[in-house]
Amino acid sequence: MAEGFRLERILIEGFKGFTKTQEIDLKNRHVFLLSPSAKGKSSIVEAIRWGLFGSSGRPPRRIVGS
């Protein structure tokens, strides 16, 4: 069985609206992103996606031919 991994923290700087370094602790079992609209919640998820996969774009909802 393949071993997984766990992010313990992320540092975001110069990504979308994050002009200053922002450190987010992810060591807890559950992490909740609570904030008013347009405050960067989706940008955090996109930054993680960019760091892991090299793309921050959202995946297609449906892949043609599947």
pLDDT for 61 equals 57
pLDDT for 24 equals 92
| Phi, psi torsion values for 47, nearest 5 degrees | -65, -40
Query: Is 49 domain-assigned?
Result: yes
Tokens of 38: 């347009």
- Three-state secondary-structure class, residue 50: helix
- pTM for the model: 0.70
Domain count across the chain = 1
Query: Is 58 domain-assigned?
Result: no
For the chain, what percentages of helix, strand and coil (3-state, to nearest 5) are there? 20, 15, 65
Query: Residue 64 pLDDT more than 70?
Result: no
Domain residues for the domain of 34 are: 9-53
1-56: pLDDT as tens digits: 557 888 899 999 999 889 999 999 988 888 888 989 988 888 998 898 888 888 76
Query: Is 22 domain-assigned?
Result: yes
pLDDT for 12 equals 93
- Three-state secondary-structure class, residue 11: strand
- Three-state secondary-structure class, residue 62: coil
